[in-house]
Structure 1
Amino acid sequence: MKASDVYTIAKELPPVELHRLYKMIGQKIPEEVAFRSKRKKLPDFSVEDAIRYLIDNHM
């Protein structure tokens, strides 16, 4: 079965059942399959650093 088939069926579910399905899928998907992007950490900037950057690069 393909995801497009499941999606077509899931669209027809009542809202309560759709919510239950969403919760069940969230609990059953292994971590290696779930696509969670990791955010890059930003360097620590102070307000003064931001102002200096804007002055230097945008004026």
Structure 2
Amino acid sequence: MTRPGLLVTPAEAARILGVTPSTVWRWVTAGRMPTPVFSERRRMRFARMDVEALLKAS
């Protein structure tokens, strides 16, 4: 189980990556974003370390 704080929302991922939330959604659809995790309420989240790795790779 992932601990709180290790997951970020699409809006938080956008802020980390310096893009808009719309861009994050486009990247999810295109397969450019890391695999999302879904919370018990079916809300999409990303592992913070995956988002930060994407930032370093770009």
Do the two structures share a fold, i.e. TM-score over 0.5?
A: no
TM-score of the superposition, structure 2-length normalised?
0.27
Greater share of strand: 2
Asked which structure has the greater RCO (Cα within 8 Å, sep 6+), the reply is 2
Higher-Rg member (1/2): 1
TM-score, structure 1 as length reference: 0.27
* Bigger proportion of residues as helix: 1
